[in-house]
Amino acid sequence: MSKMTGAVEVKGKGGGVTLEYRGKSYAFDSKAPVKADYYFVSHAHVDHVYGGLKENLIASKETVVLARERGYSLPDPISLEEVELYDSSHIVGSKSILIDDKIFYTGDIALHARGFLKAPKLPKARILVIETTYGHPKYLFPNPAKVVEEVNKLISKMYEKGVPVALCGYPLGKAQMLSYLFSTWEPIYVQESIIRLNEVCRSFGIPIKSFTSYSEAKEKGLLEKRPWILLAPSYTLKSGMMKFLKKKYDVVTFYFSGWTLDRRFGNNGADYSFPLSDHCDYMDLVKVVKHVEPEKIFTVHGYANEFSIELKKMGYDAEPLTIKQTGLDEFYRSD
């Protein structure tokens, strides 16, 4: 789908968004080969990175290193005079992009400060391309501090009974946040893939403690001494490892994701689930729009249609961009 706004052309293409502006072309978060002068990768989640890029990459250094750690081959990033990157508070290294003080693309974005991520600053822009993963009014997240309080109370209850707890979320982003938010508990063991990503984030100055790995704890018999906390990727919730831990140690599983508000996804097989998200909920998306004060809005990802309809009701000029949609199921797995 192609949309014209004066001399600006915005399209959904290659699983991402392309922009033609003043004789230059930009590809934002493409998932497939797209011909463009410049490529912007907003963050290192697998649904936003294309590993075949050779040059003219715009991204934070954190995103490049994290994506390389995950097996993507990316060139060193460049900077352009007309381009300004803004923190998007989604995960470590995530950025939004402002071109020529006029066109703002959010990538995945969160507004609420939590742990080591501050609330982002937002620019004013005439054109806004906004992610709408949770762009339906049914998605309203509770205050993250309240969620953390609730989780701590529940961990405390489990600890009193000597019951170990597994905290599960997606390995890049959520796992670092869980590593930080619940680091006052002891002992904490961490599954290997998270340990590696935690180390990369620590090298960027993110204040995450160094924990014992799960395999080392298992090898040394440390799991016998209960209770303990295990930090693990959400895909392990239905794995043989978790079945083993449940059978042998009666581990209780906690799952963290915005999708836990959606009955279709529910608790992902966990005993308890918490809507701790790294995205804007519906109201925060509206706040982004109000702050940016755009003349034209394009919505992408998730509830792009629904959110643009809501924006139109509020008097905005908004349209969804149809891209080869990674379905909600895919967001759910990759995020």
Q: Which residues of the chain form contacts with Zn ion (CB under 5 A)?
A: 45, 108
| Shortest Cβ 42–Zn ion spacing (Å) | 8
- The answer to whether the CB of 185 falls within 8 A of the CB of 309 is no
| Shortest Cβ 255–Zn ion spacing (Å) | 17
Nearer to Zn ion by C-beta: 108 or 310?
A: 108
| Shortest Cβ 299–Zn ion spacing (Å) | 16
Nearer to Zn ion by C-beta: 108 or 281?
A: 108
Nearer to Zn ion by C-beta: 189 or 255?
A: 255
| Shortest Cβ 95–Zn ion spacing (Å) | 12
| Shortest Cβ 10–Zn ion spacing (Å) | 20
Q: DSSP state, 114?
A: B
Nearer to Zn ion by C-beta: 45 or 95?
A: 45
- 30-53 burial, b if ≥16 CB within 10 A, otherwise e? bbeebebebbbbbbbbbbbbbeeb
Q: With H, G, I as helix, E, B as strand and everything else as coil, classify residue 261.
A: helix
Q: Which two tokens stand for residue 65?
A: 């290193």
| Shortest Cβ 171–Zn ion spacing (Å) | 12
- The answer to whether the CB of 74 falls within 8 A of the CB of 68 is yes
* Strand partners of residue 16: 13
Nearer to Zn ion by C-beta: 48 or 296?
A: 48
Please enumerate, as own/partner, the contacts of 55-64 that have beta carbons within 8 Å and a separation of 24 or more: 58/83, 58/85, 58/97, 59/93, 59/95, 60/85, 60/93, 60/94, 60/95, 61/93, 62/92, 62/93, 62/201, 62/204, 63/93, 63/94, 63/95
Nearer to Zn ion by C-beta: 170 or 214?
A: 170
